[in-house]
Amino acid sequence: MDISSNMKEESTSPTSLNDRIAQRVRALRAARDLSLDALATHCGVSRSMISLIERGESSPTAVLLEKLATGLGVPLASLFEPDAPAASPVSRRADQLEWRDPHSGYVRRNVSAGGETSPIQIVEVLFPPGARVAYETAAREPRIHQQVWVLEGCIELAVGDTQHRLEAGDCLALVLDQPMSYHNPTRETARYAVVITSAPAHASNRK
């Protein structure tokens, strides 16, 4: 029990996750043939900061990672995936790494199997009381669709100028193409799932 517990702590340590994020950012940037300067221009993050992240020498916030994801044209969840495709379509709970945002304290966990097993990604988030995160999200190509399903508690979600208050059981569908913010206005931790896909929602969206 103690040994497996220690192994779990090591696998979810900030260092190991920073290394995974570093590998993913490097790989995604290389796949898009982007220089550090070009990516910095695309996402509004300094070249020096991107370099630190790619070397695993920084503990970036969720807001900073969302800027990188926007510049790379992927959802935030993609930055937490391993480079290699998943060996199995089954994603075991013990293998799902958790990441804590150093700014807001929220904890996110990629639930679905990584790689190209499915175009759908599922993330679980534990959002602390009073926490607030504002993302400078912009459009990606192809369009990324997202649904936020509140499992416990309550969150306030702003998409552009539109405000939504979501209680347990409520689900909001949206497209990642404009700034958005999350806020937990209560004294209890909120838990919600985020389901993400880049597949068109309707055939009419295809051009």
Q: What is the 3-state secondary structure (H, E, C) of 125-178?
A: EEECCCCEEEECCCCCCCCCEEEEEEEECEEEEEECCEEEEEECCCEEEEECCC
4-8, 24-28, 56-60: lowest mean pLDDT where? 4-8
pLDDT at 85: 73
So where are the chain's domains?
A: 2-80, 93-205
Query: In the CATH scheme, what is the code of domain 2-80?
Result: 1.10.260.40
What secondary structure does DSSP assign to 75-122, as a single string? Answer: -GGGGGS-SSPPSSS---GGG--EEE-TTT--EEEE-S--TTS-SEEE
More confidently predicted of 10 and 109: 109
Per DSSP, 190 falls in state E
More confidently predicted of 201 and 35: 35
C-alpha to C-alpha distance for 92 and 95, rounded to whole angstroms: 5
Share of the chain above pLDDT 90, in %: 72
User: For residue 104, which of 145, 136, 134 has the smallest C-alpha distance?
Assistant: 134
pLDDT at 67: 96
Confidence of residue 73 (pLDDT cuts 50, 70, 90): very high
- Quote the tokens at residue 144: 């990324």
C-alpha to C-alpha distance for 57 and 97, rounded to whole angstroms: 19
- Quote the tokens at residue 121: 């990604």
- Do 61 and 89 form a contact (C-beta atoms < 8 A)? no
pLDDT at 199: 61
pLDDT at 81: 87
C-alpha to C-alpha distance for 113 and 99, rounded to whole angstroms: 16
pLDDT at 7: 36
Please give the CATH superfamily to which domain 93-205 belongs. Jelly Rolls (2.60.120.10)
Q: Label residue 146 exposed, middle or buried (CB < 10 Å: 0-12, 13-18, 19+).
A: buried
